[in-house]
Structure 1
Amino acid sequence: MRFTRRRRRHPAEEENSYWVSFTDIMSSLLILFILAAVALMVQLMSKQDALGFALAEVDRQIEAQEVQREAMDEQQANFDAQIGTISEAEHVRAEILEEMRTRLQAEGIQVVLNDDSSVLSIPSSALGFDSGNYDIAPAYRQRAATIGAILSDVLRDGDRTDYLDTVFVEGHTDSVPFEGPLDMDNWGLSTFRAISLWQLWDESLPKAKQLDTLDNAAGTPLFSVSGYADTRPVAGTPKGASAHAPNRRIDIRITIVRPTSDELQEISDEFDSGSSS
């Protein structure tokens, strides 16, 4: 029987084997580290791209909000301008009628200014209209001409007509039935009284004060003449007081320039679209 004798490893061989194993392990760990680092870098780059997209979207939204805010500011400015124009026009109208009232009273002509300073009422008695008659009595013609001259003066002061739409010369009666020539009723009586006053102004005022030469802000004639019979009684007229004297009058009614319904609708639509976007 043969026995085989195993050769003992030299210490140097055992040491080399140990270092080879250690080197393999370290190489493997290094590879794993590199792979992990690459994976981490890929992940970081992906997150950085996502963050970049998110920041770009935030910037886009901020820019869109800024554009929207500027548009709403412009709409608000337009709206404020419209309101400011109306307020200024109301102020100008009140100035005109208050100045008329003051100057007419200084001439001994008593008139009535309504509560919102939009209508100046001239009693029929101040113009000398006889009952059932639309002619201004001769003794009152100079007084009627003075009213027209003062009205012309205050309207021509500065740029006041730029704020006005129409100046109405309105005839009014009480409710006592009137039967005149050609079966003319209270409608006709009130209308012809207003026309008589307008015609007197046209005949008596000098060319420089003619009222029919005045235009409104739109460039159309400023004045209009009309009659309403008893359909617009003075506020506070007792019920059944058909002969209530203040209802027999000529009104100077002034309307101011206001935004049209289309302009108001456009402003409303702009606000609605701005708030919903």
Structure 2
Amino acid sequence: MRFTRRRRRHSVEDENSYWVSFTDIMSSLLILFILAAVALMVQLMSKQDALGTALAAVDTQIQAQQAQQAAMDEQQSQFDAQIGTISEAEHVRAEILEEMQSRLQAAGIQVVLNEDSSVLSIPSSALGFDSGNYDIAPAYRDRAATIGVILSDVLRQGDRTDYLDTVFIEGHTDSVPFEGPLGMNNWGLSTFRAISLWQLWDDTLPKGKQLDTLNNAAGAPLFSVSGYADTRPVAGTPQGASEHAPNRRIDIRITIVRPSSDELQGISDEFASDSSS
């Protein structure tokens, strides 16, 4: 009896010890699991913060790239607008001079339009400039006035002058040396030919067609008068006496509004800077 009770007591004590040890192990494992879970959560939160920071940096970079692209698009738009304006101005210039040529020929006045439609040449046969002479003879004055009226009419159509910078009335001479009063040479002769035509227009054109009232896009006077002596001969004229008459002429040269080199360079520099940044 004593032996049996003692064995039962030992069995219960062993069983209790086993459950205590098992509970301690499970408690330790639970603590380790909790610690591991906490460490994992901390690690995840840290990675989440790092990911958030990285995403914010990427978003900032994307916004910067979008702003840069918008600036480049704006500069490209400005450049395209400048090029478009130049193209439109060239079209308007050609339209003016081609219409002048057509209307003058319809009036029996033969003129010559150069290949790029920027210069209209009025030969001596239309103005009567003899060698060494800058006066427009009375027989040619009506014809010269008609040229001025047609020039005024075609320039005043629509907004054409908004595309123009200057209309040059250019005098030219042949290559025969000229010695005039007060030391005048071919330079003076060519200039006085242009002045004579301009003065005739100023004296004869009716009010409302006066050319000196026209301004360019900047609000400055549209017309300018100049002389070039024999420095710009007509291309392809034969040698000898027959070459002289075609070079005694008045050229109407039109220059168009263009962006300045500084403006184009500024756009180009900004575009290059944005492209490289």
Q: Same fold (TM over 0.5)?
A: yes
The offset of 1:208, in angstroms, is: 1.0
Number of equivalenced pairs: 272
The yes-or-no answer on 1:245 pairing with 2:236 is no
1:122 alignment partner in structure 2: 122
Q: CA contact under 8 A between 1:174 and 1:242: conserved in structure 2?
A: no
Aligned residue for 1:207?
A: 207
- Superposed CA offset, 1:211-249 (max 9, x none): 011111111100000000111122344678894432221
CA change 1:174–1:195 in 2 (3 A) is same
Give, in whole Å, the separation in 2 of the partners of 1:16 and 1:68: 76
Gaps of 5+ in 1: 1-5
Structure 2: gaps of 5 or more residues? 1-5
Change (3 A) 1:241 1:270: farther
1:43 alignment partner in structure 2 = 43
Aligned partner of 2:164: which letter?
L
Which TM-score applies when normalising by structure 1? 0.94
**Equivalent residue for 1:72?**
72
Per-residue CA shift, 1:93-118, capped at 9, x if unaligned? Answer: 00100000000000111000000000
Percent identity, please.
88
Any conservation in 1 of the 2:237–2:243 contact (CA below 8 Å)? Answer: no
Matched residues in 1 for 2:105 and 2:113: separation?
Answer: 12
Q: Find the aligned partners of 2:241 and 2:89 in 1 and give their Cα distance.
A: 36
Q: 2 CA distance for matches of 1:71 and 1:239? A: 58
Match of 1:28? 28
RMSD: 1.8
**Residues 202, 211 of structure 1: 8 Å contact kept:** yes
C-alpha deviations, 1:125-175, integer Å up to 9, x for none?
Answer: 210112211001110000000000100000011111111000000001122
- Cα pair 1:129 1:135 within 8 Å, conserved: yes
- Provide the C-alpha distance between the structure 1 equivalents of 2:61 and 2:241, rounded to a whole number of angstroms: 69
Q: Give 3-state SS (helix, strand or coil) of 2:208's partner.
A: helix
Deviation at 1:9, TM superposition (A): 5.5
Question: 2: distance between equivalents of 1:108 and 1:50?
Answer: 86
Counterpart in the other structure of 1:92: 92
**Partner in structure 1 of residue 197 of structure 2:** 197
The one-letter code sitting in structure 2 at the alignment partner of 1:179 is: E
Aligned amino acid, residue 93 of structure 1? R
Aligned position for 1:254: 254
Aligned position for 1:83: 83
- Distance in 2, matches of 1:217 and 1:241, equals 43
Equivalences for 1:70-219 in 2 at 5 Å?
70-219=70-219
